A and B are shown apart, each in its own frame.
Chain A
Amino acid sequence: MNGRDLFKRLLTMGVVLFGVSILTYGMIFVTPGDPARTILAQQMGGQSPSQEAVEQFRAAEGLNDPFPVQYAHWMGEVLRGDLGQSYYSDQAVSAMITQRIPNTLVLAGASMLVAIAIAIPAGIASAVDPGSRNDYAAQMGALVGVSMPNFWLGYLLIIVCSLWLDLFPVAGTGGLEYLVLPALTLGSGMAAVIARLVRTAMLDVLDEAYVQTARSKGLRERIVVYKHALRNALVPVVTIVGLQLSYVLNGAVVVEVVFQRPGLGTLLVDAIFARDYPVVQGVTLLIGVIFVLTNFAVDLTYSRLDPRIDLGGELT
């Protein structure tokens, strides 16, 4: 990628992020619901706030300004590197994100590892011997994995592994023991999707001429599968792993709640329900950045896996 391409790419990213921010801000602005009343009721321990209190809160937070004024004010702050203050906690949004992001990254990373550790061997085992018991077992496993809702699996794992077997703590954050059940919960769903894709990709690749050539040269099947076929089969898998990032962030909300791991997912959902605009905007923008960068990373990985692909995704 030359400098011009990189510049074009960065410009596109900027436009995408601007679009994301204006859409999110616009959507939450037109959604019915008054942040002042919602947040005050929470702060007052559930007691309903008076109209005077609500009006004073709205004035203090600039909530009576029209949409363009509020958005321009927020964007001005962002361009100066300030994501604003939460209406709810009065904390800096950047500090809230910084506090939560390690939990989310650890959970996402561990879940992805679980998913890959299950999916790639299962997908390969399924593809090398289609129609075998291994194949049926892997496909059945994938079906079950895809079908099980995260919250259900989470509670099931807690009941079996924490209450019955006393192997792991019920919930919380801490050492590895706190990570196992959430990572299994989130990773198993992803594993199912990835395993099915690995199987399909491997089946395609194993039929290709260069694989047949490798076999005919007398290479061991293990070398053929792992050295020659798997590398090319991983190209579509990398895409789906990249796309699974959205699954991690969506699924993380449920897993974070069930296993009491405060992360970005719950921060965003709570902020939406409280109409805490600065937090919603800050987290959405961050998620937008993560997605844009992930797409970029996926493109870079393509060209490493298959040098025929340039960064525009075209075969050269």
Chain B
Amino acid sequence: MQQTLSRRQLLGGLAVGATATAAGCQSVFAGDGADKESFTVALARDPTEEKWDAYGGITPYYTHVYEPLVDTTDEMETAPLLATEWEAVDETTWEFSLREGVTFHNGDALTAEAVVRSFDRVFEQFSWVPGWIGVEPDGVTAVDDTTVQFQTTEPFPAFPGTISHHYFGIQHPDASESPVGTGPFRVANVEEEQSITLTPYENYRDGRANPSELTFEWVKDPNTRVLSLQDESIDVAQKVPKSQAATVGDATGTAIETNLTPSAGLVAVNLYESPTDDERLRKALNWAVDQEQIVENVLNGIGEPARGPFSSIIPWAIHDELPTYGPDRDRAQELVEESKYRGEPLSILVNSENTDDATIAQVLSGWFEEIGVTSEIRQVDPASFYDTFTSGEANLTLVSFGSNSAACDYLVRAMFHSEGSDNRKLHEQNGTGVYNPGAEVDRLIEQGYRAETTAAKREHYGDVQQRVVDTGAVVPLYYNESVFGRQADVSGIDWHPVDNMIEWSDISRSD
């Protein structure tokens, strides 16, 4: 018997189907504000996506399921974590002594073999990682139960800081039991493309973490993160837009936390493209810029006015010793007139992902206009930005650059060395680069890179910063601060300059 559906039956069926499908899905907001010991943190990135197979499918950032051998302090220096000490046995060999009494979440003890297997697993999945940390693929070996040796391809004094990155959290050797680490939290539940729920690891060596449940939710849209915070469906919101920070901070139930990060925003000035190849013009641009105004008016007071290209939190940054330029637009105008600049527009390149940069570019363009320099702003999408920048297509590029570990050396190398990643393409092509100031700076960077103490690094890298600022290779703008929103009654969060490293063990809610 043939059966036909009436339009009403069809619509009814669709509605029921939609309801059933919707009801079958899981809620993204597992957080329950009523539970005093349960907390929800909204992240801007999906903590379950990306290539995290090597970490049991969860991000090694934020969660503290895994711990690296080396910690990064609030002062961006290295400190013991799973390793108690380390030393360079020779120029290319590092030995790390493991902390005793550390256990994985399944009760197994941390051993040197487990550390070797953990690094090998990361190397197997990410073929580019050994090159990143300067280690041969088979260069990690166990000397004995508590000593691990790393063989680097060349002398690498910054090696311990480099492996303080959360990419090197140590995992249990048995991948089938993943994710199993040694951190204060263990994984209770993973909802793909939504959330990770953690519970405390009861036998953690420093005592049990405070929250009975800690959930990291993915809430991509910054406005939705703020609205969810106001709705009390989450306890902490990462990356609150600076424009909304005051609103969140002034509201009765919510508060704002800001932290200086190891990242800086600056204008990279193309030293090899006319007319910014003229030092007088570059200095004029520097004299025209008012960093305090940028921080106050564009960044809503969140950030620090910059004097150099590296955040003042980086131990070898010489922020206070660097010269300042102004603002003095009369002086700037004089320099423009002395320069060979003849009215051609300067191109300003901006990454469209960063809305603050677009506004800053507008402000800069206005100031440059005041000193008789015209400019054109060009916004490009994030994936195209780096290629466009390193091709030297623009006179001025707004860049933001920071480190995610205690090893910040790579910043100075990438930015100013002629073979650093920013300059390499043009250096290889025509011997210039984009904004490397030359061979003497290359030599200083290499000396800093090989230096074994912070004081020595400060000396060599300090010279680099002096030369870079003196020659107007950059126009420093701001040192970046991260912005978190939280419920006003939530406290005990151990904020960190690297937001991936914030500690949640002592988070609590007041009565």
- Chain A residues within 8 Å of B, Cβ to Cβ: 31-35, 37-38, 40, 42-54, 56-57, 60, 88-90, 99-100, 102-103, 105-106, 109-110, 113, 155, 158-159, 162-163, 169-176, 178-179, 257-260, 262, 266, 273-275
Docked-complex contact A175 and B23, CB < 8 angstroms: yes
Docked-complex contact A170 and B424, CB < 8 angstroms: no
In the complex, B421 has a CB within 8 A of chain A? yes
Docked-complex contact A32 and B388, CB < 8 angstroms: yes
Docked-complex contact B383 and A178, CB < 8 angstroms: no
Bound together, the chains give a CA A162 to CA B128 distance in angstroms of 46
Name the B residues within 8 Å of A60 (CB-CB): 127-128
Bound together, the chains give a CA A10 to CA B129 distance in angstroms of 47
Q: Which of A48, A51, A175: most chain B Cβ within 10 A?
A: A48
In the complex, B29 has a CB within 8 A of chain A? yes
Bound together, the chains give a CA A175 to CA B218 distance in angstroms of 18
Bound together, the chains give a CA A162 to CA B226 distance in angstroms of 13
B167-199 toward A: CB 8 Å interface, digit per residue (1/0)?
100000000000000000000000011100000
Name the A residues within 8 Å of B127 (CB-CB): 56-57, 60
Docked-complex contact A169 and B383, CB < 8 angstroms: no
Docked-complex contact B387 and A33, CB < 8 angstroms: yes
Docked-complex contact A257 and B381, CB < 8 angstroms: no
Docked-complex contact A171 and B424, CB < 8 angstroms: no
Name the B residues within 8 Å of A56 (CB-CB): 127-128, 131
Bound together, the chains give a CA A49 to CA B24 distance in angstroms of 40
Task: Mark out the residues of chain B between 1 and 49 whose CB falls within 8 Å of any chain A CB in the assembled complex.
Answer: 11, 14-15, 17-19, 21-29, 45-46, 49
Q: Which residue of B lies closest to A42 (CB)?
A: B50
Name the A residues within 8 Å of B46 (CB-CB): 262
Docked-complex contact B410 and A50, CB < 8 angstroms: yes
Name the A residues within 8 Å of B223 (CB-CB): 155, 258
Bound together, the chains give a CA A49 to CA B403 distance in angstroms of 11
Contact of B51 among A90, A99, A100, A173 (CB under 8 A): A90
Docked-complex contact A257 and B15, CB < 8 angstroms: no
Q: B interface, how many residues as a size bin? A: 35 or more
CB distance from B50 to the nearest CB of A (A): 5
Please judge, given known A-B contacts A88-B50, A259-B224, whether A50 and B218 are in contact too, CB under 8 Å: no
Docked-complex contact B233 and A170, CB < 8 angstroms: yes
Bound together, the chains give a CA A53 to CA B133 distance in angstroms of 10
- Chain B residues within 8 Å of A, Cβ to Cβ: 11, 14-15, 17-19, 21-29, 45-46, 49-51, 53, 61, 126-129, 131-132, 165-167, 192-194, 218-221, 223-224, 227-228, 230-231, 233, 353, 380-388, 401-405, 410, 414, 421, 424, 500
Docked-complex contact A175 and B382, CB < 8 angstroms: no
Please judge, given known A-B contacts A170-B224, A176-B22, A258-B224, whether A34 and B387 are in contact too, CB under 8 Å: yes
Name the B residues within 8 Å of A48 (CB-CB): 401, 410, 414, 421
Main secondary structure of the interface of A (DSSP, over half): helix
- Inter-chain residue pair count (beta carbon < 8 A): 179
Please judge, given known A-B contacts A169-B29, A172-B27, whether A33 and B166 are in contact too, CB under 8 Å: no
Docked-complex contact B131 and A50, CB < 8 angstroms: yes
Name the A residues within 8 Å of B51 (CB-CB): 43, 88-90
CB distance from A218 to the nearest CB of B (A): 26
A-B contact pairs, 10 of them (CB 8 A): A32-B383, A38-B383, A46-B402, A53-B128, A56-B127, A106-B22, A110-B18, A110-B22, A162-B231, A170-B227
Given A99-B192, A109-B18, list of 13 further CB < 8 A pairs?
A32-B380, A42-B50, A43-B51, A57-B128, A100-B193, A163-B227, A172-B29, A173-B194, A176-B22, A257-B224, A258-B224, A260-B28, A273-B382
Q: Which of A50, A169, A171: most chain B Cβ within 10 A?
A: A171
Bound together, the chains give a CA A52 to CA B414 distance in angstroms of 12
Name the A residues within 8 Å of B15 (CB-CB): 113
Docked-complex contact B131 and A45, CB < 8 angstroms: no
Bound together, the chains give a CA A169 to CA B233 distance in angstroms of 8
Please judge, given known A-B contacts A34-B387, A47-B165, A48-B401, whether A106 and B27 are in contact too, CB under 8 Å: no
Please judge, given known A-B contacts A105-B21, A170-B233, whether A34 and B382 are in contact too, CB under 8 Å: no
Docked-complex contact A171 and B228, CB < 8 angstroms: yes
CB distance from A107 to the nearest CB of B (A): 9
Docked-complex contact B231 and A52, CB < 8 angstroms: no
Q: Which of A52, A110, A260: most chain B Cβ within 10 A?
A: A260
Q: Which residue of A lies closest to B51 (CB)?
A: A90
Docked-complex contact A43 and B22, CB < 8 angstroms: no
Docked-complex contact B18 and A178, CB < 8 angstroms: no
Bound together, the chains give a CA A172 to CA B421 distance in angstroms of 40
CB distance from B123 to the nearest CB of A (A): 11
Bound together, the chains give a CA A54 to CA B128 distance in angstroms of 7
Please judge, given known A-B contacts A50-B131, A173-B27, A260-B219, whether A106 and B21 are in contact too, CB under 8 Å: yes
Name the B residues within 8 Å of A155 (CB-CB): 223, 227
Name the A residues within 8 Å of B18 (CB-CB): 106, 109-110, 113, 179
Please judge, given known A-B contacts A33-B383, A105-B21, A174-B26, whether A99 and B404 are in contact too, CB under 8 Å: no
Docked-complex contact A260 and B221, CB < 8 angstroms: yes
Bound together, the chains give a CA A52 to CA B31 distance in angstroms of 42
Q: Which residue of A lies closest to B501 (CB)?
A: A45
